[in-house]
């Protein structure tokens, strides 16, 4: 039984593939796979393993030996699920592999924004502390998290983990109702919470209901010193509107770990703004990348593969 891993580079070079390798007769790994290489590499394979390489309907129909697609991530938007179902190809993904890692990253961003770290680091670099008339700098109003209100969108394992960390800092935590399902959710809608939120943290999937969820109107209702953190997907916030609010002093801080297009080869306004004196942080979609989380992806994929093999043998 042949398995092909199309984009091993997305896991890094310090993970152990042995849990998967020992379950198949042959595991062929490729660091990266271009679109025009995918068919040739998957020919004769029973199992395809992919993180971000697209497996579309045309490709699925051209691979008669393919029986299982293992997605090395939670999102399956790079797989034509309808075509896979029609062909009887099972698709299995992994979830909750990076909960501790992403929650830790979220708190790092929250603490850094609350301390106005980007601004004070710039001041120190530019010599403002060295020229100060007193022993410290007081130029940027910081935010003490204790006693503040943390509003979270997304009440899954990740949002719950962030809530626990926020509570450990003495924050009051409220989960917003699921966007698009407010009528059937007993929790308050996000619109009712924005005006009292000191920190808004996003941990929901990108759907039609969440695309542009935090836009111009939502931002206009928030406190001027509120912090917005997006460790979910680019596009859930209107990055242009958030940047404008930050520049105008209508938002206290903005941190994102993702952008709508990744990698952002054509640039992005938030990247251009990093040179400005703003309380702004952009990290390169690396909230999840601790070695423990990346190894967990492999281990969970092996679990999916083992379950499928047992079902095939039954």
Considering the domain delimited by 2-97+291-313, tell me its CATH architecture. 3-Layer(aba) Sandwich (3.40)
Residues 212-224 pLDDT 10s: 999 999 999 999 9
What confidence tier does 167 reach under pLDDT thresholds 50, 70, 90? very high
Residue 313: its pLDDT value, please?
81
Q: The dihedral of CA 100, 105, 108, 110: what is its sign?
A: negative
Q: 100: buried, middle or exposed (CB in 10 Å: 19+, 13-18, 0-12)?
A: middle
Q: Do residues 193 and 174 make contact, with C-beta atoms less than 8 angstroms apart? A: yes
How crowded is residue 23: how many other Cβ atoms within 10 Å of its Cβ?
18
Query: DSSP label at 164?
Result: H
The string of pLDDT tens digits covering residues 82-109 is: 999 999 999 999 999 999 999 999 999 9
Q: Say which residue, 314 or 240, is predicted with more confidence.
A: 240
**Mean pLDDT score, 1-16:** 97
Burial class (CB in 10 A: 0-12, 13-18, 19+), 13: exposed
Angle between helices 157-168 and 99-114 in degrees, nearest 10: 40
Of 223, 238, 248, 225, nearest to 270 by C-alpha is 238
| pLDDT tens-digit series, residues 122-160 | 999 999 999 999 999 999 999 999 999 999 999 999 999
Instruction: Write out the CATH class of domain 99-282.
Output: alpha beta
Q: Which helix (H) or strand (E) is 240 found in, with range?
A: helix 239-247
> pLDDT value at position 263?
94
Q: What is the mean pLDDT of the chain?
A: 96
Name the β-bridge partners of 280.
254
pTM above 0.95, yes or no: no
Please state the separation of Cα 278 from the chain's center in Å. 23
Distances (CA, A) of 192 to 76, 93, 150, 166, 241: 32, 34, 14, 20, 20
Model confidence band, residue 75 (pLDDT cutoffs 50, 70, 90): confident
Active site residues: 233, 262, 285
Would you give the distance in Å from CA 34 to the centre of its chain?
A: 23
Dump pLDDT digits (tens) for 259-313: 999 999 999 999 999 999 999 999 999 999 999 999 999 999 999 999 999 998 8
Cα–Cα distance list, 9 to 12, 13, 14, 20, 254 (Å):
5, 7, 10, 16, 29
Q: Where are the domains of the chain?
A: 2-97+291-313, 99-282
- Residues 170-196 have a mean pLDDT of 95
Beta strands in 95-198 (DSSP E): 149-153, 172-175
Q: Which of 202, 246, 257, 227 is nearest to 142 (CA)?
A: 227
Residue 42 predicted with pLDDT over 80 = yes
């Amino acid at each position: 039984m042949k398995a092909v891993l199309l984009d091993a580079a997305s896991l890094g070079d310090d993970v152990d593939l042995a849990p998967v390798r020992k379950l198949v007769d042959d595991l062929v790994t490729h660091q990266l796979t271009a679109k025009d290489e995918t068919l040739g590499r998957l020919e004769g394979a029973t199992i395809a393993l992919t993180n971000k390489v697209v497996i579309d309907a045309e490709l699925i129909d051209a691979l008669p030996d393919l029986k299982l697609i293992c997605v090395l991530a939670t999102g399956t938007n790079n797989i034509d699920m309808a075509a896979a179902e029609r062909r009887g190809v099972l698709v299995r993904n992994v979830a909750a592999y990076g909960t501790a890692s992403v929650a830790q990253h979220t708190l790092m961003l929250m603490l850094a924004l609350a301390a106005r770290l980007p601004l004070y680091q710039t001041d120190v670099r530019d010599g403002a502390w060295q020229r100060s008339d007193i022993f410290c700098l007081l130029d940027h109003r910081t935010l003490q998290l204790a006693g503040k209100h943390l509003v979270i969108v997304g009440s899954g394992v990740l949002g719950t983990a962030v809530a626990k960390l926020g509570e450990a800092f003495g924050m009051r935590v409220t989960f917003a109702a699921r966007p698009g399902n407010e009528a059937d959710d007993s929790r308050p809608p996000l619109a009712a919470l924005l005006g009292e939120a000191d920190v808004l943290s996003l941990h929901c999937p990108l759907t039609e209901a969440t695309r542009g969820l935090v836009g111009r109107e939502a931002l206009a209702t928030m406190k001027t010193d509120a912090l917005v953190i997006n460790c979910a997907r680019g596009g859930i916030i209107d990055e242009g509107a958030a940047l404008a609010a930050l520049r105008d002093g209508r938002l206290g801080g903005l941190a994102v770990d993702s952008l709508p297009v990744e990698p952002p080869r054509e640039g992005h306004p938030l990247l251009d703004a990093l040179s400005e004196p703003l309380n702004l942080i952009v990290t390169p979609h690396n909230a999840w990348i601790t070695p423990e989380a990346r190894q967990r992806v492999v281990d969970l994929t092996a679990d999916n593969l083992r379950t499928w093999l047992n079902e095939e043998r039954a």
